């Protein structure tokens, strides 16, 4: 998937000046491109053309209302993992009938909320979850549409923290245990068995693990069909990776093409839950260099964004490209790009060759997914503003937090 390209200070497709945005809205600042988001979403739909399908954008990647609203206008479905995400989808004009609800720990309240909202499907991850949903649906006099998430025990070859399809992971029901759970589900009065799903991990850079997972799920589906349990849909989850620099993941169309031979002539509806592939390269994080500091061992570029704004480098040792917004006459040298947070793990990039001076703006690329959504107020830092670039216009889609918002809901003792 292509980048939201920053070159000579301009976001190339949009021809918007990044420095102007930074001056107008302050830094750190998340900047997203509407055109890129829409192009990436469309690439998934185009890849599925001619097949019964539903693209359920994974809300956790970027849940800003404006982003969700763009998805809703495109006709997207949504993959949610909490009642909060469901509330966001509805507030943004999303259609609950196109929502699938994943996650290992759905509470009773979340089940009730989702049932009343009329979501498309609960992606259940354990037998106790099935029992709880049956009880909640019975109490409400409703029937809950479900899919069982299968853990196919397949290595996604991704970072261990974001690999989800191995048997040592908490996710899904082991393939070997799935049949009796399906049988029980099919016999329950307030459960309607609709489908099967899996999600083997995030930032996968090859199709092979997806195809292997699909093969395992189809074997299970055939066994179920032999018993008279016919499923309407197969949900392969999200996980298609992006290029943060060196990676060469398949494009959505290549990914879908890789799945088709295994799917054969089956009439199944196919659901995909992409998050990162749509959003990561549709956004950048803009930050200002506060100080250049010479150390004995290395030099530091101390910037005004930190691990609370973009956690991926600290949490996964993730590499994201950092580029100066404008060319500078300074001499290029290697810097560790670090934030003001009081942790040695607070870095955005290490050993980056940069020609920069204090006051310059830097863009961290690939920041549209799992950037703002994983941000926090650690060190009592207000969360960054978010701006959507739409053609040659910029729209503030989330204001930078004000200090008094930092202690909202807190109370001193009487």
Ligand X SMILES: Cc1ncc(COP(=O)(O)O)c(C=O)c1O
Closest contact distance (angstroms) between CB of 16 and ligand X is: 26
Q: Using CB under 6 A, which of 53, 98, 312, 381 touches ligand LYS?
A: 312
Residue 343 annotated in ligand binding = yes
Q: Using CB under 6 A, which of 102, 151, 163, 320 touches ligand X?
A: 102
Is residue 165 within 8 A of residue 239, CB to CB? The reply is no
Per-residue burial over 67-85, b if 16 or more Cβ lie within 10 Å, else e, is: bbbbbbeeebbbbbbbbeb
Binds 79: which of ligand X, ligand LYS, none (CB < 5-8 Å by kind) = ligand X
Q: Using CB under 6 A, which of 25, 70, 79, 363 touches ligand X?
A: 79
Q: What is the DSSP string of 277-316?
A: HHHGGGEEEEEEEEEEEE-SS-EEEEES--TTT--HHHHH
125 contacts ligand X (rule: CB under 6 A): no
User: Judged by CB, which is closer to ligand X: 275, or 366?
Assistant: 275
> CB-based contacts of 192: which residues, under 8 Å, 6+ apart?
143, 144, 145, 146
36 contacts ligand X (rule: CB under 6 A): no
Q: Which two tokens stand for residue 121?
A: 């499907």
Using DSSP, state whether 110 is helix, strand or coil: helix
239 contacts ligand X (rule: CB under 6 A): yes
Does the annotation mark 121 as catalytic? no
User: Judged by CB, which is closer to ligand X: 274, or 366?
Assistant: 274
DSSP 264: T
- Which of 53, 16, 65, 8 is closest to 36 using CA atoms? 16
Q: Using CB under 6 A, which of 98, 276, 312, 381 touches ligand X?
A: 276
- Which of 45, 79, 44 is closest to 62 using CA atoms? 79
Closest contact distance (angstroms) between CB of 363 and ligand LYS is: 18
Closest contact distance (angstroms) between CB of 56 and ligand X is: 8
Residues of this chain that bind ligand LYS (CB under 6 A): 60, 162, 202-203, 312, 370, 374
**Binding site for substrate: which residues?**
276, 312, 316, 343, 370
Residues with catalytic roles: 342
């Amino acid at each position: 998937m292509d980048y939201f390209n920053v070159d000579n200070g301009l976001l190339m497709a949009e021809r918007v000046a990044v420095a102007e945005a930074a001056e107008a809205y302050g830094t750190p600042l998340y900047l997203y491109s509407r055109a890129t988001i829409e192009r990436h979403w469309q690439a998934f739909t185009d890849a599925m053309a001619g097949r019964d399908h539903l693209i359920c954008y994974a809300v956790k990647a970027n849940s800003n209302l404006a982003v969700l609203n763009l998805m809703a206008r495109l006709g997207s479905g949504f993959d949610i993992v909490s009642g909060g995400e469901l509330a966001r989808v509805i507030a943004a004009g999303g259609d609950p009938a196109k929502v699938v609800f994943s996650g290992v720990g759905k509470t009773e309240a979340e089940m009730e909320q989702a049932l009343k909202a009329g979501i498309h499907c609960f992606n259940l991850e354990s037998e106790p979850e099935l029992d709880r949903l049956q009880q909640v649906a019975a109490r409400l006099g409703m029937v809950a549409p479900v899919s069982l998430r299968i853990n196919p025990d397949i290595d996604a070859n991704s970072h261990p923290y974001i690999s989800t399809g191995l048997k040592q992971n908490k996710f899904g029901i082991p393939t070997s245990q799935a049949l009796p759970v399906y049988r029980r589900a099919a016999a329950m009065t307030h459960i309607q068995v609709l489908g099967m799903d899996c999600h083997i991990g995030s930032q996968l850079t090859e199709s092979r693990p997806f195809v292997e997972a699909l093969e395992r799920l189809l074997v299970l589906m055939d066994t179920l069909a032999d018993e008279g349990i016919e499923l309407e849909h197969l949900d392969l989850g999200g996980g298609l990776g992006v290029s943060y620099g060196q990676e060469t993941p398949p494009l959505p169309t290549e990914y879908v093409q890789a799945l088709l031979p295994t799917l054969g002539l089956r009439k199944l509806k196919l659901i995909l839950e992409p998050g990162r592939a749509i959003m990561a390269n549709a956004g950048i994080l803009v930050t200002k260099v506060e100080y250049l500091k010479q150390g004995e061992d290395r030099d530091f570029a101390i910037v005004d964004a930190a691990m609370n704004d973009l956690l991926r480098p600290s949490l996964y040792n993730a590499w994201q490209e950092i580029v100066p917004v404008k060319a500078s006459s300074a001499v290029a040298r290697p810097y560790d790009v670090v934030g003001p947070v009081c942790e040695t793990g607070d870095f955005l990039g290490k050993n980056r060759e940069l020609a920069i001076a204090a006051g310059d703006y830097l863009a961290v690329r690939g920041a549209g997914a799992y950037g703002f959504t994983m941000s926090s107020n650690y060190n009592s830092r207000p969360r960054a503003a978010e701006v959507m670039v739409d053609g040659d216009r910029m729209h503030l889609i989330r204001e930078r937090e004000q200090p008094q918002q930092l202690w909202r809901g807190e109370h001193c003792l009487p």
